[in-house]
Amino acid sequence: MDNLQLKRYTILEKIGKGGMADVYLAYDNVLKRECAIKILLSELSNDAVAKLRFRREADAAANLQHPNITTIYDVGEAANRPFIVMEYVHGQTLKELIVQRGFIEKKEAVFLMIQILEGIDCAHKAGVIHRDVKPQNIIVKADGTAKVADFGIASIQGSIQLTQHDSVMGSVHYLAPECSKGHQASIQSDIYSLGIVFFEMLTGEVPYKGDAAVQVALKHMNEKMRGVREYNNSIEQSIENIIIKATAKNREQRYKTIQEMLKDLRVALEPEHLNDKKLILEHTPLSSELSQETKVFADKELIEPETVDSKLSLKNKILIGVIATSLIAILLLLISSLIPSANNKKSFNLSNYSGQSISEVTSKLKQLGLTVNPTYLYEVHETIEKDNVINTIPSANELVKEGDIIQLIVSEGTYYVIEDYSEKSLEEVREMLRTQLNINLIVEYESSKEVDEGIVLRQENLSPNEKISPNKRYDLKLIVSRPVTFQIPVQLIGMNYLEAETLLKEKGATVLFNAIDSSTLSDEVWEKTEFEVITRVTPTVGSSYTQTSGAIIELTYFTKTERTIVKVDKVKLETLLNDAQLIDLSDKTAESVHILNLAKQNSLLVMNNPDAKQKQVDDAYDNLLNAINGLQQIVVEDPTPEPNPQP
């Protein structure tokens, strides 16, 4: 990203990568907000189709303004690589939410589905078919808001098409049957995908599974889908009916618009629909549009009809070859018993060709006058590498004659033996499985206070020593340790320090004591202090704490020290001070009143001093008593003048 002139945006970190683009978390320096920037991969910068398809996403979503659709802020190009700036949504994908919970409770599922439908409905009204509706493309915020994202393969009315017959390149688990057959995506194909998403929300799994995309696509076309009430009979029939109608294999039987589906969904849990009967769709022939040449699409790859036919009929062809070989062998035996000249052929025991290449074995057998069946039987083997011979029919050491037909059993590849990955680091396991492209690694995290971060605690789906075929797809789930995270309990304050330590250690935290010597406290504070109980916790109680390497929780408390406290008697001083407050000073001289006030102030200071000694109290008492006794009355002279003496 350094060579891109995206001056307005500060790239913060890379947050994702897809088949066409890298995604970065960025900061918009003009509007002062976070955003996500999706930019075409550098290796596709000269790919005209890729660039056109990338720009289509911007065109499809740029004018869609809806609270349930991620907003496009800006588009541009830098260093010949187009980019899209979009809303950064804090949350998790619906797929992650389903995996995390197992399934979504029906009321919440309806709440989320209504939002998703409203977002897709907005796109449909704008002439945009999403074509890749799946839980991975729906983001759920912490407040429960759902947002539809990734219009990367959307279809816009009036735009040129980038795939043969407008074939869908979306995920096969959510793909409508007509799209697997190569027909144009429509509102009904989006509705089908939405029905599958709703099914997965309520059950925790997709309705059709298979080892290959073709198998899943064929099941969507041919197999009846189980009802959600078979998984959970507490789900109302009205909800199951919505899924039945949305996922009808004949799109003419599906909802015509999202609004129709929304109308049913909004009232599905109302009392008047509690006794709805199960919807039974009548079997009607598919439209003439679906009777055209069938093309089945794997995940993001076009698979031609001939390939599908050959894969589907391979086992039959092999079986026919084996039967034909056996019949020929029987026929030859009959002929050899009836025609004496046939017995003139040279007989010998067949050698063991196990582990040798097809070409090498074929050459040797031909030199012996034997015929090799051109159709091989393939098996997975423990040790013999792919395309090497495992065995023959007839097998080694059996008697054969010149001209006999030999069937080769060839290795399809070696088994991979699953190891015990527990106690290994996640990165170590990733490296071990780097070449095993048929293993889909699923990682889930679990807090552990005993095990270091990033270590595999256990594995699921594939057990140690289990042998797996190189030609099938497997899910291996690893449960990996992560640091313990918890909220520091509020009740620690006032708890005995040893009990507090036990509580925190049970949660997996590292504890450090901060013991304060109580000998530094004054007598009065010392008397009021609770010893050996927690007075302060660092980090503060109520805050979130993650036990990483070097992190600690510090507990502060006072130790108890022995102390002899001599009680100071302030009762007499307090009584005298109260009496002094009641003295009428109106007829006292200013000087004596001033002396009294000073004595009272001094007495108050001594009374409020917790560290005052007895002598200070006694001195204050004496001073106050002397001041009270020293109060002097004001002398008022007689205003009548004395008479003048007579001359």
Q: Is the separation of the CB atoms in 118 and 262 below 8 Å?
A: yes
The CA distance from 16 to 23, in Å, is 5
Find all residues with CB under 8 Å of 192, minimum gap 6, and list them: 174, 176, 177, 246, 247, 248, 251, 254
Nearest to 624, CA basis, from 596, 604, 584, 588: 596
Q: How many CB atoms lie under 10 A from the CB of residue 591? A: 11
- The conformation of residue 242, written as its DSSP 8-state character, comes to H
Burial (CB < 10 A; 0-12, 13-18, 19+), residue 170, is: buried
Strand-pairing partners, residue 85, are 37, 74
CA quadruple 218, 221, 222, 224: dihedral sign? positive
Respond yes or no on whether the N-terminal peptide bond of residue 394 is cis (omega within 30° of 0): yes
CA quadruple 322, 328, 331, 332: dihedral sign? negative
Q: How many residues are listed for the chain in this entry?
A: 647
- The conformation of residue 451, written as its DSSP 8-state character, comes to S
* Maximum separation of any 2 CA atoms in the chain, in Å: 202
Q: Is the separation of the CB atoms in 116 and 196 below 8 Å?
A: no
- What is the three-class DSSP state of 152? coil
Find all residues with CB under 8 Å of 516, minimum gap 6, and list them: 556, 557, 558, 559
Give the active site residue among 121, 132, 150, 404. 132
Helix (H) / strand (E) element for 303: namely strand 301-303
Q: Is the separation of the CB atoms in 449 and 507 below 8 Å?
A: yes
Give the distance from CA 163 to its chain's centroid: 32
Q: How many CB atoms lie under 10 A from the CB of residue 269? A: 14
Helix (H) / strand (E) element for 545: namely strand 544-546
The CA distance from 413 to 149, in Å, is 40
Burial (CB < 10 A; 0-12, 13-18, 19+), residue 160, is: exposed
Q: Is the separation of the CB atoms in 429 and 421 below 8 Å?
A: yes
The CA distance from 71 to 66, in Å, is 8
Q: How many CB atoms lie under 10 A from the CB of residue 215? A: 16
Burial (CB < 10 A; 0-12, 13-18, 19+), residue 529, is: middle
Q: Is the separation of the CB atoms in 370 and 406 below 8 Å?
A: yes
Count each helix (H run) and each strand (E run) in the chain, helices first. 16, 28
- What is the three-class DSSP state of 157? coil
Q: How many CB atoms lie under 10 A from the CB of residue 281? A: 13
Annotation says 622 is catalytic: no
Q: How many CB atoms lie under 10 A from the CB of residue 368? A: 14
Residues annotated catalytic, as ranges: 132
